[in-house]
Structure 1
Amino acid sequence: MAERLNPGDVAPDFTLKNSEGADISLSGYRGRHTIVYFYPAAATPGCTKQACDFRDSLASLQAAGYEVLGISPDPVSKLAAFAAKEGLTFPLLSDDSHAVAEAYAAWGEKKNYGRTYEGLIRSTVVVDPDGKVALAQYNVRATGHVAKLRRDLKLDEAAPERSSN
């Protein structure tokens, strides 16, 4: 398993199919802040809650200069059904080989009800406009994660946004 990413690390580039079967690359988001979140399975209760939280916060995230990419090991067809059912308007990407999750240290040993197995670790990595990790969070909770992420990124502060460049 890859080492967990830390702020300042170069975010591993990737190209994955979205829910419509088109190729999406992280490098295509260069110049923008990009939230890359990994979730275990489309259409499950926790993953639906998290995706809908991102959907409901998308306009304000984009207004603050952030794009959102959701990645799971689900096939494109399942992502398409999930996006349609929940009205998800940000890209959902299929990492069916879990190679990208592995590169981001979002794939590894998990424990559930006393059973140990390999699987996707719910994780979020924020990539800055230069392609470097700005924030990396692992073992995040599905419920309340977007609100916590907004706080961690200081997006809910009343002060006007200023460019850090």
Structure 2
Amino acid sequence: MSRLVQGKSAPWFKARSFQGDEINPGAYRGRHVLLSFYRYASCPFCNLRVHESIQKNDHFRLLVLEMIAVFQSPDDKLAEYVGKQPLNYPIIGDPDLQLYKLYRVETSWIGLIKAFLIRPHQILRSVFLRGFFPGSIENEIQRLPADFLIDPQGKIEIAYYGKDIGDHIAYETIEKALRNDIIEP
């Protein structure tokens, strides 16, 4: 299964967020969309990233970016773990992995092990400073994250497939892409 690439049309879908909202990324035409795929609802790496995204969301909205997150967990687990944060963007539970397959999100045992070797600071920040303790694990523990920046016309501007379980696209990369689009005529 080959990865999605820049310049191709993003696969659209309809889903319901665990908060109860209908999500149709096609309805975001005219704005950028950051579609982020996470692991399971109690993943410390994932909850730290969501926490950081919540902090950046108002700034990104000024740059005409909407965020959508997908987790491989059912709605009740999302409410129990990641849903404890003051969310300001939709989160979709996809325990059947339909969206993961559509976007070709990968798994890797090496990526699981590698994260614990190269990201001890993230483990400390997520677990001990933020209190994101691991709990139940739904679906593959070795799931890698992926982020897709979709342009206002529905094309993939950036397809970022994580190299380990804590690897997401850098916020600076997102902001640079958004600013370049805003500056260009």
TM-score, normalised relative to structure 1: 0.81
Task: Kindly indicate whether the alpha-carbon contact (under 8 Å) linking 2:39 and 2:141 is maintained by their aligned counterparts in 1.
Answer: no
Tell me if the contact between 2:6 and 2:157 (Cα under 8 Å) persists in the aligned partners.
Answer: yes
Gaps (5+ residues) in structure 1?
none
Partner AA of 2:42 in structure 1: A
* Residue 127 of structure 1, aligned match among 137, 146, 150: 150
Matched, 1:164 2:162: no
Equivalent pair of 1:21/1:76 in contact (CA under 8 Å): no
* Matched position secondary structure for 2:81: helix
Q: Secondary structure at 1:87's aligned position in 2? A: coil
Structure 2 distance, partners of 1:7, 1:144, is 19
Q: 1:110 aligns with which of 108, 111, 117?
A: 108
Structure 1, 122-131 or 134-143: larger mean CA deviation:
134-143
In the TM superposition, residue 91 of structure 1 has moved relative to its aligned partner by 0.4
Residue equivalent to 2:118? none
Letter aligned with residue 157 of structure 2: A
In the TM superposition, what is the alpha-carbon distance from 1:145 to its structure 2 partner? 4.1
What is the CA distance between 1:81 and its match in structure 2?
3.2
Identity %: 24
* Residue in 2 that maps onto 1:57: 56
**Structure 2 length-normalised TM:** 0.73
Structure 2 CA distance, aligned partners of 1:68 and 1:36? Answer: 6
* One-letter code aligned to 2:5: N
Asked if structure 2 preserves the Cα contact closer than 8 Å seen for 1:9 and 1:132, the reply is yes
The structure 2 residue matched to 1:138, chosen from 157, 161, 167, is: 161
Compute the RMSD of aligned alpha carbons. Answer: 2.8
1:7-156 aligned within 5 A: 7-106=6-105, 108-111=106-109, 112-113=112-113, 120-139=143-162, 145=168, 148-154=170-176
Q: Which amino acid aligns with 1:110?
A: S
Deviation at 1:26, TM superposition (A): 1.2
Counting matched residue pairs gives 158
Q: What displacement does 1:127 show?
A: 0.5
Rate the CA distance shift 1:144–1:62 in 2: closer, same or farther, 3 A. Answer: farther
Q: CA deviation at 1:119?
A: 5.3
Name the one with the larger helix percent.
2
Q: For 1:120 and 1:72, locate their aligned partners in 2 and report how far apart those are by CA, in whole Å.
A: 10
Task: Say if 2:145 and 2:167, in contact at 8 Å, map to a contact too.
Answer: no
Higher strand residue share = 1
Q: Which amino acid in the other structure matches residue 162 of structure 1?
A: I
Give the aligned residue type for 1:132.
K
